[in-house]
Amino acid sequence: MLYSKLFGKTSKTITRDAVIASHRLLVQGGFIRQLSTGRYTMLPLGLKVSKKIEEIIRKEVEKTGAQELIVPTLHPIELWQQANRDKKFGSSMMRVVDRNGSEFTLSATAEVVMLDLVKQFAPSYKDLPINIFQFSQKFRDEARPSGGLLRVKEFVMKDGYSFDIDETEHKKIYKAYWKAYEDIAKKLDLSITIVESDNGAIGGTISHEFMVETNVGEDTIVKCSCGYAANLERAVFVKEPVILDETEKELKEVEAVRGTTMEDGVKLHGLPLNLQIKDVMYVDEKGRFILAVIRGDYMVNETKLKNLVQSIELRHATEEEITDILHSVPGFISPVGIKQNVDSKHELIIAADDSLRTVKNCYGGSNKKNIDLLNVNMGRDYKPDFEGDIAAVVEGNICGSCKKEKLQLTKAVEFGNIFNIGFAYSNPMDGNYVDKDGNLKKIYMGSYGIGIGRALASVVETHHDDKGIIWPKSIAPYQVHLIGIDLFDESIRKQVADLYQNLLDSNIDVLFDDRLDVMPGAKFADADLIGIPIRLVLSKRSLSNGGVEIKNRSEKESKVIPFESVLEYLTNQ
């Protein structure tokens, strides 16, 4: 490819929101351009890299026995409603209505469509397992798209789906995808950490994320030296007892002229934070009020809370809702007696963290202004509707797996994920197969995804220097970046043109900087920015030194090799 003819050149100008390396370098290098917030055009250089990533993924996924197909982008909304998927995805779904009034959702993922497709063939046990995948556009109305390709509203994904007779058979494909993802990451030269994760809107109970650790990651992973690793949304830790041997004391009200923070309560009563009850009031998508109750030294993990109470979306209750509907007081909310104050047309649920089993005789608000309660005990003074782990892990908590070592928190980007979906879709959609006795049984499902743009950006985040990108050879847009210097000299121009043609004839993918009006320094800077693995320079100077200057992008020093040895050198790389 002649650089002078390449659509999409390097640029020194970047937008203010390009604050992370991959976003900045991909824009400056001429790989992507923004169309609108969260939507990017893949320019020729970017598309070449994307296609190479796709081919690596395709080859490894096919080793699991998967077959490639593609389904339409517009999904009938009825299928999503049948599986309650429209509720799960909520406001992130993008919808359209055709001229006949039929409503569709733009594909955010494809579990329901793939299951519907499999159902059309009325499978028997002889047809299972079915393992299928596609590369297709996905659309999600992200509230806060950011980081260039790391969080977008439209992207290409490899999404795979498996259909089995039971969990035992499903685990075989799950394990095969696990290995495939490890091999894909290795070929992309990405170091990954595999963590337990929350299934979120996908559904099911078990999933794992393949994470690339980087300071710009929006996800947080929790790790222990014992080998335990989990997403922050799923991680567990040891909640050490504070006082359990005390007898339960009499509940009493005391005057509490204080501020509304936890620190104000500690200062006023002179009692430790871990004995104070923290009360956080939420409202979910159904309009239910959810009172999360937790030990004062812990924070609420909203994902864990949503899973516990089976909500899809949560927001903090407003001061007006707390005072006018719940008849409580911001900063003085209490689980004790609050349900008696709530209007009958409103539903209030109390969700208690299991850390409250590690304390006795707690203190906190009373639902009255400037009045606190002392000696509050769960079970006696209030009964939660739900009880479980809703606590967020923080650095230094004791690992819930080995129960000895301290947990560490690390920023990361999600490279890929695998889900054990089970019957989450088969049950509501009557996804059945016929067993060997002629009976209908539910199909057991799995789901497996990798975002192509995010994979590309993750490579750049972990493969760059202050001059630009350093592409791994496996996915570089070109194998060689050929630079011609002194091109006004007819002899030089002919020799570099001959070298370019020889490279093409030898099936070496090459980008040839043939520009006449650009200084050598600018050409070298562009080569470093674009990041192709090998740079060849042919100039008067290189010829006087013995031939063609060659330099690996990942190395500082260059060397000169004879003109006639270039092809042999490249072949052995």
pLDDT band at 203 (very low <50, low <70, confident <90, very high): very low
Q: DSSP states of 13-51 as a string?
A: ---TT--SHHHHHHHHTTSEEEEETTEEEE-HHHHHHHH
pLDDT tens for each residue of 392-425: 999 999 999 999 999 999 999 999 999 999 999 9
Task: Report whether pLDDT(74) > 60.
Answer: yes
pLDDT over 80 at 454, yes or no: yes
Residue 234 has, within 13 A of its CA and on its CB side, a CA count of 19
Q: How far is CA 234 from CA 208, 253, 306, in A?
A: 11, 37, 12
The confidence band for 573, taking pLDDT boundaries of 50, 70 and 90, is confident
Region at 30 (left for phi over 0; alpha for psi -120 to 50; beta for the rest): left
Burial class (CB in 10 A: 0-12, 13-18, 19+), 391: buried
**Percent above pLDDT 90 for the chain:** 87
Q: Please count the CA atoms within 13 angstroms of the CA of 402 that sit on its side-chain side.
A: 14
Q: What is the dihedral of CA 300, 303, 308, 310, to 10 degrees?
A: 130
pLDDT tens column, 162-182 = 999 999 999 999 999 999 999
Q: Grade residue 196 by pLDDT with cuts at 50, 70 and 90.
A: confident
**pLDDT at 233 exceeding the cut of 70:** yes
268: which residues sit within 8 A by CB, 6+ positions away?
256, 257, 258, 372
Q: What is the identity of the amino acid at 277? A: I
Band of pLDDT at residue 200, cut at 50, 70 and 90: low
- The whole-number pLDDT of residue 198 equals 65
Say if residue 15's pLDDT is above 90.
no
Residue range 524-544, pLDDT digits in tens: 999 999 999 999 999 999 999
Q: What is the pLDDT of residue 205?
A: 62
Lowest mean pLDDT among 42-51, 178-187, 209-218: 209-218
Q: In whole angstroms, give the CA distance from residue 116 to residue 432.
A: 11
- For 487-520, what is each residue's pLDDT tens digit? 999 999 999 999 999 999 999 999 999 999 999 9
| % pLDDT > 70, the chain | 99
Listed residue (384, 347, 447, 512) closest to 134, CA to CA: 447
pLDDT in tens, 264-295: 999 999 999 999 999 999 999 899 999 999 99
Q: Which of 26-35, 212-221, 340-349 has the highest mean pLDDT?
A: 26-35
pLDDT given for residue 414 in this prediction = 93
- Among candidates 156, 157, 152, which has minimal Cα distance to 140? 152
- The pLDDT of 35-54, averaged and rounded, is 97
Query: Does position 202 have pLDDT exceeding 50, yes or no?
Result: no
As a whole number, the mean pLDDT across the chain is: 94
Q: What would the DSSP string read from start to end of 100-127?
A: TS-EEEE-S--HHHHHHHHHTT--BTTT
**Side-chain half-sphere of 205: how many Cα atoms within 13 Å?**
4
Q: Are 326 and 289 in contact (CB under 8 A)?
A: yes
Token pair for 401: 């797996």
Does 199 have pLDDT greater than 60?
A: no
* CA triple 368-371-377, angle to 5 deg: 95
Average of per-residue pLDDT across 462-481? 97
Q: Is the peptide bond before 472 cis (omega within 30 degrees of 0)?
A: no
Please state, as a whole number, how many other Cβ atoms lie within 10 Å of the Cβ of residue 255. Answer: 9
Q: Hey, what CATH class is 252-388 in?
A: alpha beta
Beta bridge partners of 378: 382
Q: H or E element: which one contains 162?
A: strand 154-164
| CATH class of the region 3-235+409-461 | alpha beta
Nearest residue to 489 (alpha-carbon basis) of 540, 550, 524, 564: 540
Q: Which two tokens stand for residue 414?
A: 């999600």
CATH code at 480-571: 3.40.50.800
Is-above-0.85 flag for pTM?
A: yes
Q: Give the burial string for 499-535 (b: 16+ CB within 10 Å, else e).
A: bbeebeeeebebbbbbbeebeeeebbebbbbbbbbbb
For the chain, give every domain's residue range: 3-235+409-461, 252-388, 480-571
Tell me how far apart the alpha carbons of residues 538 and 562 are, in angstroms, rounded to a whole number: 11
